[in-house]
Amino acid sequence: MKFLRSLFSASTLLSVSIGAVLNSGCTTVVIDEYRRSNGELAAGDTVVILGRRHSSEYETEPDLIDCVGQTLHNPKAGVNVIPEQQFVDALYPWFEPRTAPMHIKSLSKLMDVPDVRDRMEKYGVKYIVWIDGNTETTSSAGSIGCSIGTAGAGCFGFGTWDKESDYEASVWDFRDQELSGKISADAQGTSYMPAIVVPIPLIARVQNNACKGMAAQLQEFLLPPQSASR
């Protein structure tokens, strides 16, 4: 009984420590903003969040785009986001990696196709947000060894790895055909994996924190000043 109690208190202590480490935030996020005009989202207007996929070395992760879109989507606050895949399919083949407009000038050329313009207007697109960048593991250290014996199985060791996110969002005003501004999000974090019998991952949610930081900044950016302050 005593053993069980001490085991219970040890596991409680362990979970509290894990919670503390997770909550203390092993990630730092830096958000930068360059604004050329104020947000003008009105009722019925929509926002499209798209990932840049033209680079051969990396691609902006679809789950990051989903995360920003879902975090930003808030009809009560006046922000309606069209899911990336739905928009790209509806405007096939004009927003594929090879055909997507790289500059605002190419967007105005695309609007010369009447069917494309009609569909964009039907969707009520006011802003197109292009996110470029990715999250990568920059370094790792340590090692964990696991073994199975007659007495049982277990692991021992310590591993650590660093992750870095670097994203830039370009906000295009579709109706005024101009660049409204840019938001950059840099996040860094270190994850730990101590293993005493069982490996316990303490993951730094670098990409997730970059997503939340960027979505919060975008909401402030896209809404008119009086709505944003509400």
Partner 1 sequence: MNRLSKGLGAVKTTAILIFAGLLTACAHTVSVDGQFPTPVGNQHPLTVGIYLSEDFRQFTYSENRDDRDEWNINTGRAQKNLFETVLGSMFKETVNLAQYPSNLPQGIDLVIVPEVRELQFTMPRETRVNIFEVWIKYDMHAYNQQGDSVAEWVITAYGKTPTAFLKSQEAALAQAINVALRDAGATLYTGFERVPELQAFLASRQRALTMKRTDADIQ
Q: Name the residues that contact partner 1, by CB under 8 A.
A: 53, 56-59, 61-63, 89-94, 96-99, 113-116, 119
Give the dihedral sign, CA 32/36/37/43.
negative
Closer Cβ to partner 1, 38 or 137, answer by number: 137
Residue 16: which residues within 8 A CB-CB, separation 6 or more?
A: none
Closer Cβ to partner 1, 52 or 217, answer by number: 52
**Minimal distance in Å, beta carbon 218 to partner 1?**
23
**Minimal distance in Å, beta carbon 87 to partner 1?**
11
| Pairing verdict, β 152-173 and 178-199 | antiparallel
**Minimal distance in Å, beta carbon 168 to partner 1?**
19
Closer Cβ to partner 1, 66 or 220, answer by number: 66
Closer Cβ to partner 1, 5 or 98, answer by number: 98
Residue 44: which residues within 8 A CB-CB, separation 6 or more?
A: 124
**Minimal distance in Å, beta carbon 139 to partner 1?**
16
Report the alpha-carbon distance of residue 186 to residue 28 in Å, rounded.
8
Closest CA to 186 of 127, 136, 129: 136
**Minimal distance in Å, beta carbon 70 to partner 1?**
16
Q: Any idea what the Cα angle at residue 213 is, between residues 16 and 78, rounded to 5°? A: 120
Closer Cβ to partner 1, 47 or 88, answer by number: 88
Q: Helix H segments across 25-163? A: 62-72, 84-90, 104-110, 114-123
Closer Cβ to partner 1, 32 or 118, answer by number: 118
Identify the three-state secondary structure at position 55: coil
**Minimal distance in Å, beta carbon 55 to partner 1?**
10
